[in-house]
Every structure is written in C-alpha cells, then in structure tokens.
Amino acid sequence: MRILLFGAPGSGKGTQSKRIGQLFDIPQLSTGDMLRVAKKTQTKLGLEAAKFMDQGQLVPDGVIIQLIEDRIKEQDCRNGFILDGFPRTLPQAEALEEMLHQHIADLDNVVYLAVDEAALVSRLVGRRVCQNCGEEFHVSFKQPQQAGQCDKCGGPLVQRPDDEESRIRVRLETYAEHTAPLIEFYRQKNLLQELSAEGEIGAITERIQQALAK
C-alpha cells in the first residue's frame, strides 16, 4: 500500500503516519525526520538543509526529490510506504509520479488532514520534542510526567527552532503558497480523501483507516 498523508504544519501528519505505518506494517517516510537526522549528524546535506529549515522555509526541490527517490528504492519499501511531508510542492508531486511509474506503481491513497488555522498555531507553539528520541509532547495537550523530561527515554524536551511563533507564520504562508495547490492536483486525479484531523488522536487514526478502506 502506497499512502500519502498530507496537511499543513501541525495537522498531525507525523503522529498519524507513524501510527498508520505501524498498523499496516509499512515504513513511514518523513522527509522532515530525514533532514533533522542529517542536520544532527552534520552531513553536507544536513548543514545545507538547516539554513532553510530553521527559517521555516522549504529545502530546494532537487535535494528533497533525490532524498526520497533513493529512499523508496530500498528493500523495505517494496510492499508499500507512507509518505509524510513529501511532496510539498507541485514539482515534487510531479517528480513523485514520475519516479513511481519508473520504479513501482502509483499511489493508492492520498489523505488530506484538514485542521483549522488557529488550532494549527496552538499545536505548533506548544509542541516540545525530545532531543534524544524525537518523541513529541505538548505544553497543554500532552504533558510529560516529569516537566521538561521525555517519558520514553528521559531526554530533555526542547522546542524545534521552526516552532518559534514568527517561523510558524512563515511555514503556514509557505504551506498556503506551495503545498495547498496539491489538494487540487490530487483531487483532479480522483485520489484525494479529505477528513477533519481535529479531536482525539485515536479517533483521527480511525477516520484515516476508514478512508483507506474505501
């Protein structure tokens, strides 16, 4: 099964694609996570990408397309995958179509997670992530048992540089300009399913599962 889960920053695509990936036993391919690992390990790609990421801007298409093309050729993607954070522009969506035609087959499902803008901002402003393992928390909605400490590994909880309020605005504007046009792109291909991604995490996962079963 080849699934694309997309939505604005803060729509919960990371959380939900991890859950759906586990349920269907397929890898979650998050370009944001891949870039953060590259940044942390200070590879050439990571250092270059960090300049864009930390400002809330998109990393150039060519870099991202190559990253994902290399990843989907790997063995564990043979039976499918769930894309999280890619494609984010029309050229990326067209490149994905092209690479899937060449290597495997088309996407089976595209699920768009719709969330009201005020809810997006409050989710992102309050998000805290574990510096060690990447587990996510929220200052109001998902507090850790010990303040400032990850429940899973005990690592320190920090705010992502791009979750700072002024950068959130840039990310939402970037989303509206470059990524929102993908809604129409996939609607015209009769692939798009839109659902509300507000409410309890488990209930949203169920909605996604129902959409995938259609």
Catalytic residues: 13, 88, 127, 160, 171
Q: Does 7 bind ligand AMP (CB under 6 A)?
A: no
Q: Are 104 and 98 in contact (CB under 8 A)?
A: no
- Least Å distance between CB 36 and ligand AMP? 7
Q: Are 108 and 3 in contact (CB under 8 A)?
A: yes
Report the residue from 19, 39, 88, 127 that binds ligand AMP according to the rule CB under 6 A: 88
Report the residue from 52, 135, 136, 183 that binds ligand AMP according to the rule CB under 6 A: 52
- Per the structure block, which two tokens stand in for 74? 């790997």
Q: Which one, 145 or 165, has the nearer CB to ligand AMP?
A: 165
Considering only residues 10-49, where is the footprint of ligand AMP by CB under 6 A? 31-32, 35
Which letter, b or e, does each residue of 21-56 get, where b requires 16 or more Cβ atoms within 10 Å of its Cβ?
beeeebbbbbbbebbbebbeeeeebbebbbeebeeb
- Least Å distance between CB 94 and ligand AMP? 13
Q: Does 81 bind ligand AMP (CB under 6 A)?
A: no
Q: What is the dihedral of CA 139, 122, 198, 133, to 10 degrees?
A: -50
Q: Does 185 bind ligand AMP (CB under 6 A)?
A: no
- Per the structure block, which two tokens stand in for 193? 């399913």
Question: Strands, DSSP E only, in the chain?
Answer: 2-7, 28-30, 81-84, 109-114, 127-130, 136-138, 157-158, 192-196
Number of alpha helices (DSSP H) and beta strands (DSSP E) in the chain: 9, 8
Report the residue from 7, 21, 80, 85 that binds ligand AMP according to the rule CB under 6 A: 85
Q: Which stretch binds ligand AMP (CB under 6 A): 58-66, 147-155, 185-193, 204-212?
A: 58-66
- Least Å distance between CB 141 and ligand AMP? 18
CA distances from 174 to 17, 27, 114 (A): 22, 27, 16
Q: Does 96 bind ligand AMP (CB under 6 A)?
A: no
Q: Does 162 bind ligand AMP (CB under 6 A)?
A: yes
Q: Which residues contact ligand AMP (rule: CB under 6 A)? A: 9, 31-32, 35, 52-53, 56-59, 64, 85-86, 88, 92, 162, 171
